[in-house]
């Protein structure tokens, strides 16, 4: 699996490279600034990009801008954003194209190797992987989606964090059959009929985070 990394801190950039290579990822390029990121993404068209939001020269939103521009040129390009802080506006802006393959993790989560590698693979596969703290702050900034019960909203929150039905069942102390029922209710209430082309699980998360 081919990866492009954008991180200005040398130790973290090198550490991510070694970590991913140890799990059989191929880091095709690792850049340390905003201007170099977009050409790297467009040139390599990686299976997933791991991007710091704030990159030189201004340390504001260079990483975000490059990610959005790359996803405009390459629809659905999987992007996993790393950030020092929870910045819900950036998470929302990445979702405006309504495609999957998006993740947003706090840098402190990188210390959990298993969780981080799982998130990279989840995003590369077209899924979502949002840090629980990011989801919590997004929820705090708006009212819950109209029509969803508290339990349905809880299930959707777990889906946004990249959990499987089995993992959700374990977290909520219910059966997978009950989880499936909640998910089907969510799809119905969000107006998402069965489709062979769309991943309703991802679309539901995007609607949830972009509401």
Where residue 148 sits, what CATH number does that domain have? 1.10.10.10
User: Are 28 and 121 in the same domain?
Assistant: yes
User: Are 97 and 127 in the same domain?
Assistant: yes
From 109, 136, 163, the end of a domain falls on 136
Instruction: Report the candidate in 207, 211, 87, 83 with the shortest Cα–Cα distance to residue 137.
Output: 87
> According to the model, what pLDDT value does residue 26 have?
97
User: Are 114 and 170 in the same domain?
Assistant: no
State the DSSP H helix or E strand holding residue 105, giving kind and residue range, or none if neither. Answer: strand 102-106
List, in sequence order, the alpha helices (H) in 96-174: 113-124, 132-140, 150-160, 165-172
> According to the model, what pLDDT value does residue 175 have?
92
User: Are 164 and 128 in the same domain?
Assistant: no
pTM: 0.71
Number of domains in the chain: 2
Our CA dihedral for 70, 74, 78, 84, rounded to 10 degrees, sits at 10
- Could you report the per-residue pLDDT of 142-190, keeping only the tens digit for each? 555 667 888 888 898 888 888 889 999 999 999 999 999 999 998 888 8
Range of the structural domain that residue 113 is part of:
2-136
User: Are 154 and 81 in the same domain?
Assistant: no
User: Are 99 and 29 in the same domain?
Assistant: yes
User: Are 85 and 38 in the same domain?
Assistant: yes
Residue 56, domain CATH = 3.40.50.2300
Tell me which residues of the chain have a pLDDT lower than 70. 88-98, 136, 138-146, 196-198, 206, 208-211
User: Are 129 and 72 in the same domain?
Assistant: yes
User: Are 94 and 129 in the same domain?
Assistant: yes
Instruction: Report the candidate in 3, 65, 1, 69 with the shortest Cα–Cα distance to residue 33.
Output: 65
> According to the model, what pLDDT value does residue 168 have?
93
């Amino acid at each position: 699996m081919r990866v492009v990394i954008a991180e200005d801190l040398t130790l973290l950039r090198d550490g991510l490279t070694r970590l991913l290579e140890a799990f059989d990822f191929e880091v095709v390029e690792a850049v340390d600034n905003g201007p170099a990121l977009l050409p790297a993404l467009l040139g390599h068209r990686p299976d997933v990009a791991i991007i710091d939001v704030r990159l030189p020269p201004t340390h504001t939103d260079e990483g975000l801008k490059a990610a959005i521009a790359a996803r405009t040129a390459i629809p659905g390009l999987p992007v996993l954003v790393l950030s020092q802080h929870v910045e819900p506006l950036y998470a929302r802006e990445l979702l405006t194209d309504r495609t999957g393959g998006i993740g947003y993790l706090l840098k402190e989560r990188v210390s959990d190797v298993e969780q981080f590698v799982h998130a990279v693979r989840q995003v590369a596969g077209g899924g979502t992987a949002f840090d629980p703290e990011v989801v919590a702050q997004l929820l705090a900034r708006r009212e819950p989606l109209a029509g969803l019960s508290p339990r349905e909203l809880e299930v959707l929150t777990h889906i946004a964090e990249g959990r499987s039905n089995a993992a959700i069942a374990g977290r909520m102390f219910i059966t997978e059959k009950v989880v499936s029922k909640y998910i089907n209710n969510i799809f119905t209430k969000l107006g998402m009929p069965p489709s062979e082309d769309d991943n309703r699980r991802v679309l539901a998360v995007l609607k949830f985070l972009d509401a």
